[in-house]
Amino acid sequence: MKNVVKIGEASFSEVFAGYAPKFTTIKTKCVFKIVPFGRGSEVLINGEEQCSIKDISQEIKITRELGGRTGLDPLLRVGFLQLYSAGICRGKYPIELLDEWDRWDSEFNSENDRPDYFDAKQLYVIFVVEHGGISLEDFKLKNWEQAWSLLTQVGWALAQAEQSLKFEHRDLHWGNITIKPTKNKVVTYELPSAEINVNVPTCGIRAFIIDYTLSRMQRGDEIIHVDLLDEGYFTAQGDYQFDIYRMMREETKGNWKSFCPKTNVFWLHYLADKLLTSKKLPKPRKTNEQYRYFDAITRFKKRALHKGGYRSAIDAMKNDDFWQI
């Protein structure tokens, strides 16, 4: 790793960006997601037990399927980042990364514990992936047209993975959607078995889905999933995100192995809500060109869960006209 800077964090991981000529090219910036695992409650992470070997194995499998060279056809995983490498290492946190952690903390006030307490026995999995840009939480959208394109791109990306892998993300909050600028005018989503081929206007941005810690998918006869047993997911208050976890538990009836694609609709509804209420885009007048994009998102939010709503991301994208502008 060269010229590494911290760019983000999650409950169980630290995220850095830099160059890794061994895996890509000298000029290609990568993202390094570092996840300590395997020691349960012996060494806590931010007050929580470390991820188990089983859970880490599940995330590696899903990440490889959605981004690896031997995974799903790249044409069928357009909204997911390329995986360059995934490996396991052991030891104390390098001083260079701790220095970057301190810089980030001074600027953004980290919610994580400083990772200097891990000893020489600590195991980590490191994902080296394509740089997907900035999280939706931090990205400044220019207008409602970009917000509409974002919702459309994420919807079709979920539909693709849902059809190919019976995929559910199960944690698609605005920190797990990244955005980067693009000069391409459209992005194409193909769903061959549904005979769908859609060109979506990018409006200058590409949206990507990241972090499959809680995700579910099926590859052949193998079902990959994580049981959400931590009651903390279901007792938190203060954001619609926490309602979604409770809605998912009710939908799955606690059987997290089962395929319940409506959970993807829950997260699309959450995304529409975030775009309408939390991105600080001014409500346009009806005579403004931007109004039709604002109205499309508003109409989708009203219909997505109304009277039972859509059954899956595929159902939502096939039968809702919000994206057909």
- Give catalytic status of residue 230 as yes or no: no
Report how many domains make up the chain. 2
Q: Can you give the pLDDT at residue 26?
A: 67
Low-confidence ranges of the chain (pLDDT < 70): 1-2, 25-26
Q: Can you give the pLDDT at residue 27?
A: 78
Same domain, 74 and 92: yes
Of 116, 131, 146, the residue at which a domain comes to its end is 131
Show Cβ contacts of residue 291 under 8 Å, excluding neighbours closer than 6 positions: 144, 284, 285
Same domain, 274 and 147: yes
Query: Tokens representing 154?
Result: 């994420």
CA 158, chain centre distance (Å): 10
Same domain, 125 and 158: no
Q: What is the CATH number of the domain that holds 123?
A: 3.30.200.20
Same domain, 73 and 152: no
Same domain, 276 and 170: yes
Same domain, 249 and 175: yes
Same domain, 170 and 106: no
Same domain, 204 and 94: no
**What residue numbers bound the domain in which 88 lies?**
2-131
**CB-CB contact of 69 with 106 (8 Å):** no
Q: What is the CATH number of the domain that holds 152?
A: 1.10.510.10
SS3 state of residue 183? coil
Show Cβ contacts of residue 322 under 8 Å, excluding neighbours closer than 6 positions: 148, 151, 152, 296, 297, 299, 300
**Active site residue: 171, 221, 243, 320, which one?**
171
SS3 state of residue 256? coil
